[in-house]
Homo-oligomer: A and B are copies of this chain.
Amino acid sequence: MPAKLVHNSYGKSAVRLTKVTRLADRHELAELTVNIRLEGNFARSYTQGDNSAVVATDSMKNTVYVLAKQHPVDSPESFALHLAGHFVQTYGQVRRAQVEIEQSSWRRIDVAGEPHPTAFVSEGSEVRRATASADRNGKGSHVRGGLGKLLVLKTTDSAFTGFVRDRYTTLPDATDRILATEVSAVWTFGSPGADYNAAFASIRTAMLETFARHKSDAVQQTLYAMAEAALAAEPSITGIRLRMPNKHRVPFNFKPFGLEFENDVYVTTDEPSGEISAVVERASS
């Protein structure tokens, strides 16, 4: 049958590593999950079963550990760039390498008010993210930072009114509702070599503070304000993509029990959820 292979890629997912850097006065801990994806001259593996150009995904896994030993792993962005560059430089058949890294959040345990040098407690589900790609011809290479699973909730200063009201509408206007969301963000650096850790900290703080202070007329508006704040806080990024699902807290209907809902007790739900997203870029002034 006449068929053609119009796109292909392959790689390794979920390579997990823990790196401990043993300094004189403390240990540094980095816990990463790495995904690698290669594109290039691999078509004959699909069409002929000819693996002569194929870098085994098991070898990719080995490479992650070997390079993690030799690299400081001081930011996920720098390690992602290093890995992506390695694959393009080492293997002529690789046209493009993409590396995604997710870093778990750990902080030091406080012992008698002091952060312990070698013991850590998880900050939970929030993750820091980085992606880098390297292209053989140099075009399309990029480095991005990001975060995910950042759950935030505000108990006031959130309204949703004035939306389309038609035969499918039952939602009443809300002038004071709970706004809860799980923020995912990806930001693009204008060029490699930024201070990725400082950028992460300043963007995260700017978004959290804006979320807290914003008088919200829509999740959309809060999202946009957070994106603006991120761009203002961090000159090294050129744009940011935000995704903020609306994790609804639904007023419990107390009427059947002779009581009133007084913005006090809500039903916590996961689904369905609103899905709000946007890409905001720095405007040329």
Interface residues of A (CB under 8 A from B): 1-22, 27, 29, 31, 33, 35, 37, 42, 45-63, 65-66, 68-69, 91, 105-106, 109-112, 116, 118-126, 150-157, 160-164, 166-171, 178, 208-209, 211-213, 216-218, 220-221, 223-224, 227-228, 231-232, 239, 245-246, 249, 252, 254, 256-257, 259, 263-285
Residue contact A123 to B123, C-beta cutoff 8 Å: yes
**In the bound complex, what is the Cα–Cα distance between A45 and B164 (angstroms)?**
12
Contact between chains at B272 and A16 (CB < 8 Å) = yes
| Chain B min CB distance to A117 (Å) | 9
Question: Nearest B residue to A229 by beta-carbon distance?
Answer: B1
Contact A271 B112 (CB under 8 A): no
Q: Which of B20, B46, B249, B259 contacts A178 (CB 8 A)?
A: B20
- CB distance A164 to B54 under 8 Å? yes
State which of B14, B46, B119, B246 has its C-beta within 8 Å of the C-beta of A152: B119
How far apart are the CA atoms of A212 and B43 in the complex, in Å? 22
Q: Are B66 and A259 neighbours in the complex by a CB distance under 8 Å? A: yes
A256 to chain B, nearest CB (A): 5
CB of B220 within 8 A of CB of A119, answer: no
With contacts A152-B121, A218-B54 taken as known, whether A17 is within 8 angstroms of B111 at the C-beta atoms is no
